[in-house]
Every structure is written in C-alpha cells, then in structure tokens.
Amino acid sequence: MQPRFLCAIALSVLTVGLAVSVPAVPALAQGTRVSEPTGGFSYVPPPGWHTKPFPGLKYKICYTNSLGGFAPNINILEETAAVPLDKYMQISLVGMKQAYTTFAILSQKPFVTASGIRGVRMVVNGTTGGRNMHQVFYVFPGANDRKYVVTASSLASDGNRYNAATDASMKTFRLR
C-alpha cells in the first residue's frame, strides 16, 4: 500500500481553517496528558493549548488561539504502510510535493521521544489550500506497520514561533 501522507497535509489545512470558526473551549491545565485509547497513544499538548473532537477526524485536534484568521494546530492521523519508516518518508515526499503549490523542506532529521520512540521530524514551508504554511511533521512507527503522522501547522509568517512548543509536546508522545 502506498502511504497517503498528503492526506495529512490536506486535513491539517482543513482542520485549521475550520478550528477558528468553532467556539473556544477552556485551555488544558499545564501537563495534562491527552489519551487516545483507540489509537493507542497519548501526549501532553503545549501549555495553554486546547483540545476537542473535530468532525471527520478520528482523534482530537489540539490548537491555540487564532492569529491572522488561522489557528495553529496539531492533528494526528494514522495509516498502515508495510514499509520501514525511511521508505515511508521517501514515498510520502512524492505526494507532498504534489500537494503544495510551492514546497521547501527546511530540515529532516531523527526525532526521539522521551519514551524512546524513534521517529522522524520534518519541517516544511509551502503553499497549499491557498495558504502559505509552516508545518512540522513528526512520524512515528507503531505496531503492525502503523505510522502515526503528527502535523503541527501554522502560517509561514509565524516562522518557527511554535516549533519549540510542539517539539516539547511531541517529546511526550507515548504508545501503549
């Protein structure tokens, strides 16, 4: 099966655009762990961010206050791909390049969570859905060929503003 990585891109942009029109919910208390039992994972969102179920997505989105009509957010998707993580990333890049009008990989490197999960962190800037985006993708392997694709999205004009917060959050990512 070919990975559907570009689906994560489309959903991240869709999610953000709609998240700003949904009434706000209270921010989580600092250090609150969000658990997704059906996905078998949990993580601690950035301080002051919110979580809520979102129509059409299997897992809750995590977002902060809207800036410039766009709510920076984290969403998590999973898929099954019977390939090693490095091959998954290679195949996914083909789809990603097609999903963006402009596309630049700023960095791609290993990322290890505090619990020892070895994944990949890729930072990109690009135009998709008519928006200039800055996105950080964290991809983690799971059992039975599962791949967890975490997408942290913000406007490109915000640059690296949220990177430290989303990195710290993803360091807390755990599988059961």
Domain ranges, ordered by start, for the chain: 5-175
DSSP codes of every residue in 32-71: PPEEETTTTEEE-PPTT-EEE--TT-SS-EEE---BTTB-
Q: Is the dihedral of CA 13, 14, 20, 25 positive or negative?
A: negative
Q: Is the pLDDT of residue 6 over 50?
A: no
Distance CA 44, CA 174 (A): 10
- Burial, 121: exposed, middle or buried (Cβ in 10 Å; 0-12, 13-18, 19+)? buried
Q: For the residues 116-130, what does the mean pLDDT come to?
A: 93
pLDDT of 8 strictly over 90: no
> Could you tell me whether strands 131-141 and 118-128 are parallel, antiparallel, or unpaired per DSSP bridges?
antiparallel
Phi (first) and psi of residue 114, to 5 degrees: -60, -25
Residue 31 pLDDT grade (very low, low, confident, very high; cuts 50, 70, 90): confident
H or E segment and range at residue 155: strand 146-155
Q: What is the pLDDT of residue 13?
A: 52
105 has a pLDDT exceeding 90: yes
Read off the pTM: 0.89
Q: Is the pLDDT of residue 59 over 90?
A: yes
Q: Decide if pLDDT at 70 tops 90.
A: no
Look at residue 65 in the predicted model and tell me its pLDDT. Answer: 87
Mean model confidence pLDDT for the chain: 86
Does 50 or 10 have the greater pLDDT score? Answer: 50
Could you tell me the fold of the domain covering 5-175?
A: Protein Transport Mog1p; Chain A (3.40.1000)
Give the pLDDT band of residue 15 (cuts 50, 70, 90): very low
pLDDT above 70 for 136: yes
Q: How far apart are CA 84 and CA 86, in angstroms?
A: 6
Q: Is the pLDDT of residue 100 over 90?
A: no
Q: What percentage of the chain has pLDDT greater than the value 70?
A: 86
- Does the pLDDT value for residue 12 go beyond 80? no
Structural Rg of the chain based on CA atoms: 15
Query: What was the pLDDT predicted at 14?
Result: 46
